[in-house]
Amino acid sequence: MYRLWITLLLLCATGAHAAPQQVSAVYHLSRNGQSFANVTETFRQEGGHYKLESITKGIGVYALLGVRRLASEGEVTPEGLRPTHFEQQQGDDSKRLITADFDWAAGTLTMTAKGKVKTETLLPGTQDIASYAYQFMFAPPQGDQVEIPVTTGKKLRTYLYRIEARAVPVETAAGSYRTLHFVNATEGGDDKQLWLGVEVHYIPVRIVMPDENGGTLEQVLTSLRVE
């Protein structure tokens, strides 16, 4: 699917010991410039393991969509995060639960959605859609582009992100940050963009991406606590 080969750049530049033990981040999510939801994320690592949770709650009429919960857990290794289990739940309907289980010993990724089970080869460095952004805390971007396999729980795809600009100032309700601006350079990919805070362990401070209905979502940091 991908014809552009690059050196894998997710190398552990600072080591797991330099990454935060805990992160609490809150984001405001808008759609086409209108308030859509608030996103609360918590990350914790202890004893070589990590747990990560992301909760999205709609604002106003969008609250009727129900709470969206992403959860990821796994090991912290010298190369960074190694997920073992991921799940995504929208609202209270158990039929909408999506999971991914990572068997690193066997080299398999098992994804379950709507009762259908799919198994694929587990690629080195694979992350889930909750953990991938936090991997940068352990493996800061090196060079001008990063290639990373990511699972949604429904499919596994390798993404290529290119640094569009460096030292880009981003003003948020949580403060002013100097960022690396990444754009999705995956062949046939969407227009997703990331701004990673250089002085805050490369935690995303702004994300812009299209949604499945043709709108534009913008997620901007409003509160950050790092320990």
- Tens digit of pLDDT for each residue in 65-91? 999 999 999 999 999 999 999 999 998
Six token digits for residue 69: 């919960």
Rounded Cα distance between 191 and 159, Å, is: 12
Query: Which pLDDT does position 190 carry in this prediction?
Result: 86
Domain boundary assignment for the chain = 16-226
Domain 16-226 annotated CATH 2.50.20: yes
**Res. 14 pLDDT band, cuts 50 70 90:** very low
Query: Which pLDDT does position 17 carry in this prediction?
Result: 45
Residue 16 has pLDDT above 70, yes or no: no
| Model confidence, pTM | 0.89
